[in-house]
Amino acid sequence: MRPGLPQIATAWTLGLVAGLAAGCSRDVDATPPMDTASGADTGAGPDGGATHDDSRLTAVSARLHDDIGSMVIVSWDQAEPGTSAVRYMVDPGRWHSTPPVHREAGHHEQLVLGVPYEHPVRLQVTLETDAGDRVRSSAIDLETAPWPDGLPRPVVRVHVEERTDPSTPWLLGSVTSDGAGWGSNWWVFILDRKGRTVWAWESPDERVTMFARPSLDGSTILVDLDSYWWLFDGGAASEVARIDIEGRELQRWPTPGLHHAFIDLPEGGIAWGGHGESDEYVAIVDDAGDIEQIWSCADLVGEPWAFSCITNAIWLDTATDRFLVSVVSTDSVVVLDRQSGAQLDLYGSGRSAWAFDPPESAFSHQHDPHLTDEGTLLVSTNGIRRERDTAVREYELDEESHTLRQIWSFGDGEGIHADRLGTVQRLPGGNTQHGLGSAGRLREITPEGDVAWDVDWGEENELGRTTAFEDIYRLLDGTAPAVSR
């Protein structure tokens, strides 16, 4: 048994006893309704009329996933058709549930997500038969796998639970191997709100994964396999892959020249910023592997200087079919027509760029510019001098005067500077999450400017793209049918 494990298990057991005193019996009498949202915290839950019946739910067992040891596979034999689910307790007295699924009589398996590494979990199968009976199996206790070697351990500096966005309990992101720096294997991870890592996937050797993101439909994970920063081949071997929650590759696209950001497109395919022999460009690859270059940075800076351009973000405004492309080397954001590649507008620096109001609100060395649902421009601005804090800025777009008018900002005076990387996301409840790249920090800020969540991976570790999301079980929809759902 690993050092410290007895103390962990004892603390969990003592907490469970407290839960029992609150009305949750040892053989888990309390059963939540079958319409529980996937992965939702159901509390202790009402009894719901379920009875303990090991005759209709037999051969119940649990094992860890072979490749990702935080995931649990629960197996059972179901004696009759009905709607079944696995409910599970990670924290004492608080139950969660997998999505209820109607299953025929027979052998079934369910993948359980959202359990931290090195953590005890209690599991139980529930069944509502087609005849209306509600039954439950005996409970199983299990512990997930040890912490993956090389995965940094984040520390939660601030967590004001009532101020965080309740609709986004999960965070997908990437981070360098612990203390190994930029040109190392990266880890793609999923974090819960307590800062616990519940899923992790290591990038393959000789590839960097800085911009992992959920697919547009939320059912899979897209990872950049960037050769630019490891092989120093100009990104000639860079690719983007689609993987499922079990870490299996489902699809791969060639993205030559890729060194920073990419996005998936509604009709399929990938758009990215790439570096060529003499210029920086934006290109699109479709699902058949056909590549079309739609823009060259020569359109922005002129042919002789195009080789010096660096793009670090791309975003598609589906309402107007326009790309926003961040050209960090010129402190500018280019607005492109997606179909023609024509340059329509310019934010930031440049003779034709929009003005800033006030002038001191201008961004520089920017990351992740995009429009919010309200039509404002949201951007992380790093600055190029360490004395300038990395900040989030939000601008109202005055189309008549071609002015970016700052309406909200956060970060100035906070004393955190990231030389590289950074993401910003407006959450459904109005909070803003800010990933501070090379500073190894992620913070969630309320509209009033209060820090509701602050997670720290340490300055020796670099944080890639981060995305808060709603439903971890949506990621089961993209898996092959090896495990029933």
Report the alpha-carbon distance of residue 212 to residue 255 in Å, rounded. 15
What is the average per-residue pLDDT within 460-471? 97
Report if residue 15 sits inside a domain: no
Report if residue 363 sits inside a domain: yes
Rounded (5°) CA angle 209-307-356 = 80
Give pLDDT, residue 306.
Answer: 81
Residues 230 and 84 in one domain: no
Residues 88 and 199 in one domain: no
Report the alpha-carbon distance of residue 174 to residue 190 in Å, rounded. 9
pLDDT at residue 400 above 70?
A: yes
pLDDT digits (tens, 9 = 90+) for 71-111: 999 999 999 999 999 999 999 999 999 999 999 999 999 99
Q: With left for phi above 0 and alpha for psi between -120 and 50, is residue 206 left, alpha or beta?
A: left
pLDDT at residue 49 above 70?
A: no
pLDDT-based confidence at 474, cuts 50/70/90? very high
pLDDT digits (tens, 9 = 90+) for 210-242: 999 999 999 999 999 999 999 999 999 999 999
pLDDT-based confidence at 307, cuts 50/70/90? confident
CA trace torsion 389, 393, 399, 401 (10° rounding): -40
Residues 275 and 137 in one domain: no
Give pLDDT, residue 482.
Answer: 45
Give the residue numbers spanning the domain of 255.
155-476
Report if residue 305 sits inside a domain: yes
Give pLDDT, residue 9.
Answer: 37
> Hey, which residues does 331 pair with through a beta bridge?
none
C-alpha 363: how far from chain center: 25
pLDDT digits (tens, 9 = 90+) for 246-290: 999 999 999 999 999 999 999 999 999 999 988 999 999 999 999
Residues 139 and 196 in one domain: no
Report which of residues 30 and 472 the model is more confident about. 472
Domain boundary among 143, 178, 196: 143
Residues 120 and 234 in one domain: no
pLDDT digits (tens, 9 = 90+) for 293-304: 999 999 998 877
Domain boundary among 143, 167, 186: 143
Give pLDDT, residue 26.
Answer: 29
Half-sphere exposure of 109 (CA within 13 A, CB side): 13
pLDDT at residue 66 above 80?
A: yes
Q: Which residues contact 267 (CB under 8 A, 6 or more apart)?
A: none
Report if residue 40 sits inside a domain: no
Give pLDDT, residue 286.
Answer: 98
Report if residue 169 sits inside a domain: yes
Report the alpha-carbon distance of residue 256 to residue 321 in Å, rounded. 24
Report which of residues 350 and 241 the model is more confident about. 241
Report if residue 95 sits inside a domain: yes
pLDDT at residue 2 above 70?
A: no
pLDDT digits (tens, 9 = 90+) for 237-252: 999 999 999 999 999 9
Report if residue 35 sits inside a domain: no
Per-position DSSP letters for 304-358, written without gaps between them: GGGGG--EEEEEEETTTTEEEEEEGGGTEEEEEETTT--EEEEEESSTTPPEEES
Report if residue 44 sits inside a domain: no
Residue 238: strand, helix, or coil: coil
**CATH number of the CATH domain containing 88:** 2.60.40.10
Residues 233 and 276 in one domain: yes
Domain boundary among 143, 173, 200: 143
Average pLDDT, whole number, for the chain? 89
Closest CA relative to residue 271, chosen from 234, 250, 258, 56: 258
Residues 234 and 128 in one domain: no
Give pLDDT, residue 212.
Answer: 98
Per-position DSSP letters for 36-79, written without gaps between them: PPTT-EEES---TT-EE-TTTEEEEEEEE-SS-TT-EEEEEEES
Report which of residues 178 and 401 the model is more confident about. 401
Residues 136 and 159 in one domain: no
**CATH number of the CATH domain containing 179:** 2.130.10.10
Residue found by looking up tokens 């079958």 in the block: 34
Residues 335 and 365 in one domain: yes
Residues 138 and 161 in one domain: no
Residues 119 and 165 in one domain: no
Give pLDDT, residue 302.
Answer: 84
Give pLDDT, residue 401.
Answer: 97
Per-position DSSP letters for 413-474, written without gaps between them: TS----SS--EEEE-TTS-EEEE-GGG-EEEEE-TTS-EEEEEE--TTS-EEEEEEES-GGG
Residues 247 and 314 in one domain: yes
C-alpha 250: how far from chain center: 18
pLDDT at residue 45 above 70?
A: no
Task: Please give the tally of structural domains in the chain.
Answer: 2
Both tokens of residue 110? Answer: 């369910």
